[in-house]
Structure 1
Amino acid sequence: MKKLFLFFAIVLLLSGCSWFETSHEMEKNAGELVSEGSSAFVSGDYKTAVKAYTDLKDWYPFSKYAILAELKIADSHYHLEEYDEAMIAYEEFEKMHPRNEAIPYVIYQTGLCWFNQIDTIDRDHTPAKNSLTQFNRLIDQHPESEYAQKAKENIKNCMENLSGHELYVANFYYKTKRYKAALKRYEYLVENYPGSKESKEALNKIPKCRALANKI
């Protein structure tokens, strides 16, 4: 019985310590938290920034700084190269504040999260495809935005990666004598990436590839 009493006493003591610690943390007001987060963000301490802005968002959801906190949490994750977390935060921001003036920036940053993950043409082309989708959406919805102009600069790299990937796959099929599959890839490349150097190479290979495919 004494052991059981001692156990509960320890639990109560630990809970009390935790309560006092939380209470002490919560004594910071919204202005102090935004100042703490901003200082950390500017100095490149993005983990501390995430903590401060998250506390601000959780404890003061109706504060005039709450929307800023949501955006800075996303930006901090972006700078930490935590792209999945950043995209979730940006997408949540857009969902909650669809008319906010920062939306063009948010869409652009979402695109950059994918863009920064683009790898060589022999790897998964999903990042290039998804970043292209975001950049095109930005240009369609906010054509006058400064971020739309920046997006146009990145679209070229996306297209080059995607067309390079298509040619890589088509050539692989051709080399392994899977001519019908190769032909579909070459034709797709010409149709969807006209004028690219990859499409020109595909045009040169299509006649021979078609002849070999017809023999199968």
Structure 2
Amino acid sequence: MRFAFSLGTARSGLARSVVLVAVGLSLAACDTLSSLNPFDKSEKYKPEIVPEVPAEQTYNEGLSRLQDHNYTGAVKKFDDVEKQYPYSQWGKKALVMSAYANYEAGEYQDSITAARRYLNLHPSSPDAAYAQYLLAMSYYRQVPDVTRDQERTEKALVALQELVDRYPKSEYVSDAKFKIQVVRDQLAGKEMEVGRFYLTKRNYTGAINRFRDVVSKYQTTRHVEEALMRLTEAYMALGIVNEAQTAAAVLGHNFPDSQWYKDAYKLLQSGGLEPREDTGSWISRQFRGFTRAVGLGG
């Protein structure tokens, strides 16, 4: 073994002792390093053998945790199955159950992720409709109040409509159709809130655009009556009498007992006018073939 330092011409006993000590320490260090060498053939590697747990057993453990309302624990078991047996029937079932367990735990984004993954991998599966339902419901549970941004509400509407369109014979369609109406009512309510705000600021054009969206997109919701009355109000303020009269006439024709119609009628009368429908108006065209919805105030 060579060393980086030189002994020079030192010949004293002390110098020789230092050299011998240095050599002894170096050899000891080499012995120590040798004992730690992972490739030392004198040490035999003994791998730890982890017994493979059958997929069915892990899956059933997940179900057991579900029954105990231990949703986080259930998710872990189902995820273990899906990771270890991704191409098996157990892995397939575990993925949709992971979406369900996350949904029950209130982990809606994780539920959405699992449900989307299932739909991407198994779009024709008998459980695909259920995965789509979990996806839609995860958005639905996050619908905020009408004063806040409605991005989640819009995503819930899209997911619910996809369920109805893709799986029309599934057992979830009836509930999805009801919730579609609820979500549409929420979106219409948001448009009404903004439209009313514009009215208070005398931004009548901005208000009309919002109320027009309600009349055009959400006319089966409970907000359509007020939207027509507010259109009457906004058009009157702008001096666009023809449209104001049409809005009131359409309101009276479709909702003759509505308080909003009575208010619109009084507003027109205050200006010496009465409801009169112009069939060429965009408002009139929107209500051709209109059928009033039942439910949610409709």
- Residue 118 of structure 2 corresponds to residue 93 of structure 1: yes
Alignment of 1:178 onto 2:209: no
What CA distance in whole angstroms lies between the structure 1 residues aligned with 2:221 and 2:174?
A: 22
Structure 2 counterpart of 1:51, from 67, 76, 87: 76
Structure 1 distance, partners of 2:127, 2:238, is: 52
1:138 to 158, 163, 171: 163
The more displaced of 46-55 and 195-204 is 195-204
Do structure 1's residue 209 and structure 2's residue 250 form an aligned pair?
Answer: no
Letter of the structure 1 residue corresponding to residue 180 of structure 2: I
- How far off its partner does 1:206 sit? 1.3
Report the secondary structure of 2:202's partner residue.
coil
Q: Could you say what the CA RMSD is over the residues aligned between the two structures, in angstroms?
A: 2.4
SS at match of 1:100: coil
- SS of 1:177 mapped into structure 2: coil
**Which structure has more RCO (C-alpha within 8 Å, separation ≥ 6)?**
1
Query: Looking at CA atoms only, which structure, 1 or 2, has the larger radius of gyration?
Result: 2
> Which one has the bigger helix percentage?
1
Distance apart, 1:171 and its partner CA: 0.5
Write the letter of the residue equivalent to 2:199: Y
Displacement of 1:38: 1.3
Paired amino acid for 2:85: Y
Mean Cα deviation higher: 93-102 or 171-180: 171-180
Matched length: 201
Q: Is the 8 A contact 2:99 2:134 kept in 1?
A: no
Partner of 2:89: 64
8 Å CA contact 2:99, 2:131 repeated in 1? no
Q: SS of the counterpart of 2:53?
A: coil
| Counterpart mapping for 1:23-172 below 5 A | 24=50, 27-172=52-197
**SS of structure 1 residue aligned to 2:89:** coil
- One-letter identity of the residue aligned with 1:178: N
Identity in percent? 26
What is the CA distance between 1:60 and its match in structure 2?
A: 2.2
Give the TM-score, by structure 1 length.
Answer: 0.84
Secondary structure of the residue aligned to 2:125 is coil
Q: C-alpha distance in 2, partners of 1:184/1:154? A: 26
Query: What is the CA distance between 1:72 and its match in structure 2?
Result: 1.0
